[in-house]
Amino acid sequence: MKRTFLILLRVLLGGFFLAAGIQKLLSPQQVLSSVYSYQLPLPDGVAVIIATALPWMEILVGAALLTGVWSGVTFAWTFLLLTLFLGLTTQAWARGLVIDCGCLDLARIHPALKVLSTPGGASLRNLFLLGIALMLWFGSRRSGSGRA
Amino acid sequence: MKKFFLFLAFPLVALGCGSLWQWQHPSGLWSRHKISPSDGFPRVTLSETTPRVSAGEWLLIDARSEEEYNVAHIPGAVSLPSSCFPEMITFFLEDHPRDKTAVIYCDTTECDRSVELARRLQAEAGWTDLRILDGGMLAWKRSRP
């Protein structure tokens, strides 16, 4: 039962990363535009590197989560990315920026979910995903196998 | 040690795949394809635009939010956020005649806001000569020393 629950969480988190990465891959310029929309003092070169690598990072992490390979490293990157996303969206929220978070567009599922793309909504979403990642990590540690 | 290299491999592989993807994708950041716009608005380069804007022949419009415009914008540009079109268009048209060539930009070439604003200016304000700035704000940032 517990194992099934952990597998479900893994599929949810992995699927989320994978879908977010694929969506970003399909609109490369939009990713760069989203990076700029956070109005951070980033040099252009850094913004371009982020826009180039981020979609594939999400795809790699998503695929690794789904398949359960390289568990320790995958969790490390999952926490790192989610903490980074949480930090970004929270600072945008605190600064009152009216922007689209540039993350997975859930409004395609239902228009009401558009609120989860605002900085506030995205912060809550990232917090939720971070919670899932923590549950998965503790679950896989307790099971001792490193795999959920 | 193996885990450390695996940890480093993630961003390196992502950057490698990402670079190839940007190169081969039609709207990639350094695409090998020439972008052929499907929205019907001609593209103009920054070097074509700036002298004409300085001479007052063309009007340069920033379609990003007012907040983003206040942080930085291309010199000579006026702000008309695509999101505030209904509220601002009447006042905007009082100050800026429609017979001028309007060049619209947002962050990059493929950002939606410039094309969206161009469509609305054409359909709702009857503006005829509308162009999109190739590369948008990014082109201007890159052109600075």
Interface test with A, best of B12, B17, B66 (most A CBs within 10 A): B17
Q: Tell me the pLDDT tens digit for each residue of A52-82.
A: 999 999 999 999 999 988 888 999 999 999 9
Domain ranges, ordered by start, for chain B: 1-34, 43-143
Mean pLDDT (10-residue bins), chain B, 145 residues? 89 94 79 61 89 92 87 91 88 89 84 85 90 86 73
Distance of CA A116 to the CA centre of its chain: 13
Assigned CATH topology for domain B43-143: Oxidized Rhodanese; domain 1 (3.40.250)
CB neighbours of residue A141 within 10 Å: 12
CB neighbours of residue A6 within 10 Å: 19
Nearest-angstrom CA–CA distance, A104 and B43:
30
Two tokens at A4?
């099934």
Cβ contact B19–A52 (<8 Å)? yes
pTM for the model stands at 0.70
Q: Which amino acid is at B56?
A: G
ipTM beyond 0.90?
no
Q: Which of A29, A76, A98 sits opposite B108 (nearest CB)?
A: A29
Q: Which of B10, B18, B106 sits opposite A73 (nearest CB)?
A: B10
Q: Tell me the pLDDT tens digit for each residue of A78-113.
A: 999 999 999 999 999 998 887 778 888 887 777 778
Q: What are the φ and ψ backbone dihedral angles of B131, each rounded to 5 degrees?
A: -135, 160
Cβ contact B7–A57 (<8 Å)? no
